């Protein structure tokens, strides 16, 4: 392991000052399940490591009916899963409970998963489908953005290593809404998604779709919202025909790479299957069915 100076700031300004006053080689550490592996394997270099877990603002986990969920950037996957406040955010719960195993989940944060900005990250499509936004601080001040504008490429995001993610905000789930996340991995667990998808569907009083968001991951440089596919569902009865058409459209948003883990055609087909399944599960949940996530 490379040697570095460890800092444990107690406030957002202290953390951003440490980052700004470093030699350009400072990194933030939340659970460390990505960054410590990267430092140990010399994939990244850091002279200073700034631990964000002691900043109280980053540990907030609260919910109110009007504004939704506040998920501080240092909240672990386990804290998220154990909180009754998160019960209606089923897509993110599906995703969070398959990030590594429970040892990883007790350290890893959803904020770290987002900041690591892997195209295959499990939480990101779920955050997109749930309409999440983020708040982060840079030396220019505090900014808020939709998650859809946050990741800019593999391992890259709008903060360019110069920002501190403070919190993720997720709007309240609507009445008669449901959401779901699924990934395909070749092994039973502990693997990276070959393709993944998340869907959110909200029904109106007449049973037609009042709101829909479909997101895809691992089939392009960043996870993305398939806006036209979501729009195809609007004001329609969510029958098999509508789901099939939306899933086919969503798959056209998949522009995957061809590698040892899957060909382009395989990943495009997976995108279609994952979207179809997540839409079906989201709709069953919207109808009040309790569906425990199938882990893969």
Ligand X SMILES: Cc1cc2nc3c(=O)[nH]c(=O)nc-3n(C[C@H](O)[C@H](O)[C@H](O)COP(=O)(O)OP(=O)(O)OC[C@H]3O[C@@H](n4cnc5c(N)ncnc54)[C@H](O)[C@@H]3O)c2cc1C
Cross-strand pairs, 180: 199
Of 8, 81, 85, 104, which one interacts with ligand X (CB under 6 A)?
Answer: 104
Binding range to ligand X, per CB under 6 A, among 24-32, 225-233, 236-244, 277-285: 24-32
CB of 238 to ligand X, least distance (A): 29
Among 48, 109, 133, 199, binds ligand X (CB under 6 A): 109
> Nearer to ligand X by C-beta: 28 or 253?
28
Question: What is d(CA 26, CA 41) in angstroms, rounded to the nearest whole number?
Answer: 17
**Which is nearer to ligand X, 29 or 194 (by Cβ)?**
29
Our CB check for ligand X shows the closer of 50 and 209 to be: 50
Interface pick for ligand X out of 147, 164, 194, 233 (rule CB under 6 A): 164
Q: Which is nearer to ligand X, 127 or 229 (CB)?
A: 127
Contact flag: residue 142 with ligand X (CB under 6 A): no
* Binding segment (CB under 6 A) for ligand X, from list 26-34, 61-69, 141-149, 205-213: 26-34
Q: Is 108 in the site for ligand X (CB under 6 A)?
A: yes
Of 99 and 242, which has the nearer Cβ to ligand X? 99
Contacts of residue 117, defined as CB under 8 A and 6 or more positions apart, other chains included, come to 150, 151, 152, 153, 154, 155, 156, 157, 222
* Closest residue to ligand X in the complex (CB): 112
Q: How far apart are CA 79 and CA 263, in angstroms?
A: 37
Contacts of 172 (CB under 8 A, 6+ apart): 65, 66, 67, 68, 69, 88
Measured distance CA(67)–CA(65) in Å, rounded: 6
190 binds ligand X (CB under 6 A): yes
Cβ contact 249:229 at 8 Å: yes
- Total residues contacting ligand X (rule CB under 6 A)? 29
Distances 275 to 42, 61, 101, 124, 145 between C-alpha atoms, Å: 36, 29, 24, 15, 25
The DSSP letter of residue 122 is S
**Residue indicated by tokens 């903060």:** 159
Q: How far is the CB of 53 from ligand X (least distance, A)?
A: 9
- The reply to whether 147 sits near ligand X by the rule CB under 6 A is no
Q: Given candidates 9, 112, 217, 256, which one binds ligand X under the rule CB under 6 A? A: 112
The C-alpha torsion from 261 through 264 and 268 to 271, rounded to 10°, is 30
Q: How far is the CB of 83 from ligand X (least distance, A)?
A: 17
**Is there binding between residue 217 and ligand X (CB under 6 A)?**
no
| Paired tokens of 95 | 């995703």
Which residues lie below 8 Å from residue 294, measured CB to CB, with a gap of 6+?
Answer: 182
Q: Contact between 111 and ligand X (CB under 6 A)?
A: yes
How does DSSP classify residue 12?
H
- The answer to the question of residue 73 lying near ligand X (CB under 6 A) is yes
For 268, residues 6+ apart whose C-beta sits below 8 A from its C-beta are 219, 251, 254, 256
Asked if residue 30 binds ligand X (CB under 6 A), the reply is yes
* Residues at the site binding ligand X, with contacts judged by CB under 6 A: 27-35, 37, 52, 73, 98-100, 104, 107-109, 111-113, 115-116, 121-122, 164-165, 190
């Amino acid at each position: 392991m490379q040697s570095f100076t460890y800092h444990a700031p107690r406030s957002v300004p202290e953390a951003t000052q440490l980052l700004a006053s470093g030699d350009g080689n400072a990194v933030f550490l939340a659970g460390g399940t990505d960054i410590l592996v990267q430092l140990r394997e010399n994939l990244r270099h850091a002279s200073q490591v700034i631990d964000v877990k002691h900043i109280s603002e980053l540990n907030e986990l609260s919910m109110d009916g009007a504004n939704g969920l506040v998920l501080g950037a240092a909240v672990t996957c386990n804290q998220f899963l154990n909180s009754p406040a998160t019960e209606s955010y089923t897509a993110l719960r599906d995703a969070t409970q398959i990030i590594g195993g429970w040892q990883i989940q007790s350290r890893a944060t959803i904020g770290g998963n987002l900041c690591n900005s892997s195209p295959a990250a499990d939480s990101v499509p779920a955050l997109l489908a749930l309409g999440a936004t983020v708040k982060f601080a840079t030396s220019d001040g505090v900014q808020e953005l939709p998650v859809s504008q946050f990741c800019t490429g593999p391992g890259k995001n709008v903060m360019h290593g110069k920002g501190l993610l403070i919190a993720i905000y997720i709007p309240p789930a609507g009445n008669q809404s449901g959401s779901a996340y699924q990934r395909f991995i070749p092994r039973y667990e502990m693997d990276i998604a070959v393709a993944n998808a998340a869907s959110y569907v909200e029904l109106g009083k007449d049973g037609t779709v009042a709101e829909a968001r479909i997101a895809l991951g691992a089939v392009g440089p960043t996870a993305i919202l398939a806006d036209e596919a979501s729009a195809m569902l609007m004001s329609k009865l969510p029958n098999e025909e509508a789901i099939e058409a939306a899933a086919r459209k969503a798959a056209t948003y998949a522009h995957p790479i061809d590698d040892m883990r899957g060909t382009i055609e395989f990943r495009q087909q997976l995108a279609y299957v994952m979207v179809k399944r997540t839409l079906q599960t989201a709709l069953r949940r919207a109808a009040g069915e309790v569906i425990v996530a199938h882990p893969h």
